[in-house]
Chains A and B, each alone.
Chain A
Amino acid sequence: MTRLGGWGRFPLAECNVVTARSEADVRAAIEAAPLIARGNGRAYGDAALNTDQTLDMTGMDRMLSFNDGVLVAEAGVLLGDIIHTFLPRGWFPWVTPGTKYVSLGGAIAADVHGKNHHLDGSFRSCVDWIDLMGPDGTVTRVTPSDDLYDWTIGGMGLTGVILRAQIRLRQVETAWISQETRALTSVQETLDAFEETQDVPYSVAWIDCSDGPHHGHSLLLLGRHARADELPGHWRPLEVRRKGKLPVPFGAPPFIFRGLWLRAMNGIYWRRGAKRAGTSLVNWDSYFYPLDALANWNRLYGRNGFLQFQCALPEETAAAGLKELMDTIAAAQTGSVLSVLKRFGPQSGHVSFPMPGYTLALDFPANERSLALMQTLDQITLAHGGRFYLAKDARMPEAVAKADPRAKAFAAMRKQAGLTEKFTSLQSERLGL
Chain B
Amino acid sequence: MSGPVLILGATSGMARAVARSFAEAGHPIQLAARDINRLDDDAADLRTRYGVDVTLHAFDALATGTHAAFFEGLDLPQIAICAVGAMGDQDQSAADPLGAAMVIRSNFEGPASILAHLANAMEARGSGTLVGISSVAGDRGRASNYVYGSAKAGFTAFLSGLRNRLARRGVHVVTVLPGFVRTAMTDGMDLPGPLTADPEEVGAAILKAVEKQKNIIYTRPIWRVVMAVIRNIPEPIFKKTSL
Contact B41 A19, beta carbon cutoff 8 Å: no
Q: State which of A57-65, A248-256, A384-392 sits at the interface with chain B.
A: A57-65
The verdict on B48 contacting chain A, using a C-beta distance below 8 Å, is yes
Set of chain A residues within 8 Å of B211, measured between Cβ atoms: none
The verdict on A261 contacting chain B, using a C-beta distance below 8 Å, is no
Contact B187 A19, beta carbon cutoff 8 Å: yes
Summarize A's interface: helix, strand, loop or mixed: strand
Set of chain A residues within 8 Å of B41, measured between Cβ atoms: 62, 64, 74
Expressed in whole angstroms, the minimum distance between the Cβ of B13 and any Cβ of chain A is 7
The verdict on B212 contacting chain A, using a C-beta distance below 8 Å, is no
A-B contact count (CB 8 A): 28
For A56, the closest partner residue in chain B by CB is: B187
Contact B49 A63, beta carbon cutoff 8 Å: yes
Set of chain B residues within 8 Å of A18, measured between Cβ atoms: 187
The verdict on B91 contacting chain A, using a C-beta distance below 8 Å, is no
Given A59-B13, A62-B42, A19 and B184 contact (CB-CB distance below 8 Å): yes
Assembly CA distance A21 to B44 (angstroms) = 15
Set of chain A residues within 8 Å of B13, measured between Cβ atoms: 21, 59
C-beta contact mask, B177-203 vs A, less than 8 Å → 1, else 0?
A: 000000010010000000000000000
Set of chain A residues within 8 Å of B44, measured between Cβ atoms: 62-65
Assembly CA distance A18 to B38 (angstroms) = 20
Contact B49 A85, beta carbon cutoff 8 Å: yes
For A67, the closest partner residue in chain B by CB is: B48
Count B-side interface residues using an 8 Å CB cutoff.
10
Contact B187 A64, beta carbon cutoff 8 Å: no
Interface centre among A62, A81, A85 (most CB of B within 10 A): A62
Expressed in whole angstroms, the minimum distance between the Cβ of A152 and any Cβ of chain B is 22
Expressed in whole angstroms, the minimum distance between the Cβ of B12 and any Cβ of chain A is 10
Set of chain A residues within 8 Å of B187, measured between Cβ atoms: 18-19
Set of chain B residues within 8 Å of A22, measured between Cβ atoms: 38
Contact B48 A64, beta carbon cutoff 8 Å: yes
Enumerate A1-46 residues with CB–CB distance to B below 8 Å.
18-19, 21-22
Interface centre among B38, B41, B42, B184 (most CB of A within 10 A): B41
- Contact residue range for chain A? 10 to 19
C-beta contact mask, B144-187 vs A, less than 8 Å → 1, else 0?
A: 00000000000000000000000000000000000000001001
Enumerate A48-88 residues with CB–CB distance to B below 8 Å.
59, 62-66, 71, 73-74, 81, 85
The verdict on B45 contacting chain A, using a C-beta distance below 8 Å, is yes
Contact A66 B184, beta carbon cutoff 8 Å: no
Assembly CA distance A81 to B50 (angstroms) = 12
Set of chain B residues within 8 Å of A73, measured between Cβ atoms: 48
Assembly CA distance A38 to B38 (angstroms) = 24
Set of chain B residues within 8 Å of A65, measured between Cβ atoms: 44, 48
Set of chain A residues within 8 Å of B49, measured between Cβ atoms: 63, 81, 85
Assembly CA distance A316 to B13 (angstroms) = 53
Expressed in whole angstroms, the minimum distance between the Cβ of B218 and any Cβ of chain A is 23
For A85, the closest partner residue in chain B by CB is: B49
Specify which of A19, A21, A66 is in contact with B48 (CB 8 Å cutoff): A66
Expressed in whole angstroms, the minimum distance between the Cβ of A104 and any Cβ of chain B is 13
Interface centre among B13, B38, B44 (most CB of A within 10 A): B44
Contact A62 B45, beta carbon cutoff 8 Å: yes
Assembly CA distance A65 to B42 (angstroms) = 11
Expressed in whole angstroms, the minimum distance between the Cβ of A69 and any Cβ of chain B is 13
Set of chain A residues within 8 Å of B184, measured between Cβ atoms: 19, 21
Expressed in whole angstroms, the minimum distance between the Cβ of A324 and any Cβ of chain B is 46
Set of chain B residues within 8 Å of A21, measured between Cβ atoms: 13, 184
Set of chain A residues within 8 Å of B48, measured between Cβ atoms: 63-66, 71, 73, 85
Set of chain A residues within 8 Å of B42, measured between Cβ atoms: 62
Assembly CA distance A53 to B184 (angstroms) = 17
Assembly CA distance A21 to B182 (angstroms) = 12
Expressed in whole angstroms, the minimum distance between the Cβ of A62 and any Cβ of chain B is 4
C-beta contact mask, B38-69 vs A, less than 8 Å → 1, else 0?
A: 10011011001100000000000000000000
C-beta contact mask, A80-123 vs B, less than 8 Å → 1, else 0?
A: 01000100000000000000000000000000000000000000
Assembly CA distance A123 to B17 (angstroms) = 29
25 contacts between A and B (CB under 8 A): A18-B187, A19-B187, A21-B13, A21-B184, A59-B13, A62-B41, A62-B42, A62-B44, A62-B45, A63-B44, A63-B45, A63-B48, A63-B49, A64-B41, A64-B44, A64-B45, A64-B48, A65-B44, A65-B48, A71-B48, A73-B48, A74-B41, A81-B49, A85-B48, A85-B49
7 more contacts with CB within 8 A, not counting A63-B44, A64-B44, A65-B44, are A19-B184, A21-B184, A63-B45, A63-B48, A63-B49, A73-B48, A85-B48
Kindly list the 9 A-B residue pairs having the minimum CB-CB distance in the complex, ordered from nearest.
A62-B45, A63-B48, A64-B44, A62-B41, A66-B48, A85-B49, A63-B45, A63-B49, A19-B187
